[in-house]
Amino acid sequence: MIASFGALMRTFLICSFLLVGTFLSAQQFDVVLEGGRVMDPETGLDAVRNVGLRDGKIAKISASTLEGRRVIRATGLVVSPGFIDLHQHAQDLASQRVKAFDGVTTALEMEIGASDTAQFLKSKEGHSLIHYGTTASHVAARALVFGEPLQDGTILPKSGKATEAAATPEQIERIQQRLRDEIDAGALGVGMGIQYVPGATRLEVIDMFRVAAERKLPVYTHMRSAGRVEPGSAIESVEEVIGAAAITGAPLHIVHINSTCLRDSLECISLIEGARARGLDVTTEAYPYIAGMTAINSAVFNPGWREKLGIDYGDLVLPDTGEHLTKERFEELHSSSKQQWVLIFANTQQIVDAIIPNPLVMIASDGLESHPRNAGTYSRVLAQYVRDKKTLTLMEALRKMTLMPAQMLERSTPVGRQKGRLQEGADADIVVFDPLTISDRSTFAKPMEPSVGVKYLLVRGSVVIDDGKMLPEVFPGRAIVGPGKK
């Protein structure tokens, strides 16, 4: 009797233990971010909370204590959605590392687009720190149809017959078909570097917007021209792409309004405001630097560039050596088939300071090695505009880096709705940073210096930066693809 009572008790205790165990494991999270200042630009949440992550998602946000297999103390730190960079060219691991230290959890090649979507996605599968994706490249499709396909890894053509010539109607159809095939391979929209292919007529541009519109995808564009000289001003260029968006219905994202519109940047933004007030879906972005950078043998430097940009040879600087160019040196490099990046000092700090806080402007880096924007864009905005100049609140700055680009991404894929939010159910792409110390350290002399102040970075719930140090061999980044990919 006593023995059997004992056995009963044991069974009862074991059952209770199992029940409690089940209850505990249901409440236990993979990672808990404890006691940080949790900020979500969509709901306006800005409070000390604990964040429980499970299976790559944000499972719980609570004022109560949460149990986690790993608990990260975030007291005094900001817990924000990871930054989404819509405009990142350099996609190698070295660049992904500096992006991560700058708070970026998703970096997409949307401006120009990779020259081969399937190859791009395949090359990154399983070894990407952060999420990646691309648009379908009009420039590359055009080069292919003109019989001068871009070399592996390059995204811009050398200025020449193929970039200057108008396409025939038959060639335009083939370019459109290539874009459709790229969308079927997973591209997130159409990328158009119109200034790199000045031979593209207004009608060709509209025909490419038509492809985006038929697939209900956006067009990202580096516009046809820069500066004030008419015809061919930045204002005319904005009119061209807003016109194409109005005619076709494709959503339009104008990249780096700063480096295209220069002294007329605020005017360009007012044109975008006008288009939006008339119901058009037009958005824009900028990076916080006075210099641009591009390939010196590209069509950007076709005759007339000095008048257009209002600069001279000496305002062009080679990033690796700091050499200011002369007429002779420029001509040598412009005619070379070897691609050489060149910094273009064409903007003023005053203009950049006026653009970055504008509520319509998202932050995007146009990241490339050799320019400090690759490594420092996001930290620089937080340091200079939020902390020093105080022309942006922290929440407004985070909105420009998280929610706004996520909403842009929603034009391409429902995955966008899971990004850029610090909310239950959203993807656990999170940056934890010190708002008092976050700073860029990259300079024109040392463009790849990583930013400081990001203490933790999580991608799909995996810790990538741990207490300020990058973990080796962690590759949680995934492809973000458009609706065309089966």
- Residues that bind Zn ion in the complex, under the rule CB under 5 A: 222
Helix, strand, coil % over all residues of the chain, rounded to 5: 40, 25, 35
CB nearer to Zn ion: pick between 252 and 479 = 252
Q: How far is the CB of 293 from Zn ion (least distance, A)?
A: 9
Q: How far is the CB of 238 from Zn ion (least distance, A)?
A: 14
CB nearer to Zn ion: pick between 222 and 400 = 222
CB nearer to Zn ion: pick between 142 and 222 = 222
∠ CA 121-288-433 to the nearest 5 degrees?
75
CB nearer to Zn ion: pick between 112 and 217 = 112
Q: How far is the CB of 73 from Zn ion (least distance, A)?
A: 41
CB nearer to Zn ion: pick between 305 and 456 = 305
Q: How far apart are CA 404 and CA 410, in angstroms?
A: 10
CB nearer to Zn ion: pick between 97 and 222 = 222
CB nearer to Zn ion: pick between 105 and 221 = 221
DSSP H or E run through 464: strand 462-466
CB nearer to Zn ion: pick between 222 and 478 = 222
Where b means 16+ CB within 10 Å and e means fewer, 49-75 reads bbbbbbebbbbbbeeeebebeebbebe
- DSSP class of residue 133 equals E
Backbone angle region of 105, left / alpha / beta, with phi > 0 → left and psi within -120 to 50 → alpha? alpha
Q: How far is the CB of 64 from Zn ion (least distance, A)?
A: 48
∠ CA 139-140-144 to the nearest 5 degrees?
120
Q: How far is the CB of 313 from Zn ion (least distance, A)?
A: 21
Q: How far is the CB of 220 from Zn ion (least distance, A)?
A: 10
Q: How far apart are CA 12 and CA 439, in angstroms?
A: 58
CB nearer to Zn ion: pick between 157 and 461 = 157
In angstroms, the Cα distances linking 293 to 211, 239, 344, 409, 462 are: 29, 24, 6, 25, 34
Q: How far apart are CA 94 and CA 100, in angstroms?
A: 10
Closest by Cα among 112, 98, 134 to 380: 98
Closest residue to Zn ion, Cβ-based?
222
Phi, psi at 150, each rounded to 5°? -65, 145
| Cβ atoms < 10 Å from Cβ of 76 | 13
Q: How far is the CB of 256 from Zn ion (least distance, A)?
A: 6
Q: How far apart are CA 256 and CA 284, in angstroms?
A: 7
Burial class (CB in 10 A: 0-12, 13-18, 19+), 181: middle
Q: How far is the CB of 70 from Zn ion (least distance, A)?
A: 41
Chain length of the chain: 486
Q: How far is the CB of 255 from Zn ion (least distance, A)?
A: 6
Burial class (CB in 10 A: 0-12, 13-18, 19+), 8: exposed
Q: How far is the CB of 469 from Zn ion (least distance, A)?
A: 33
CB nearer to Zn ion: pick between 120 and 220 = 220
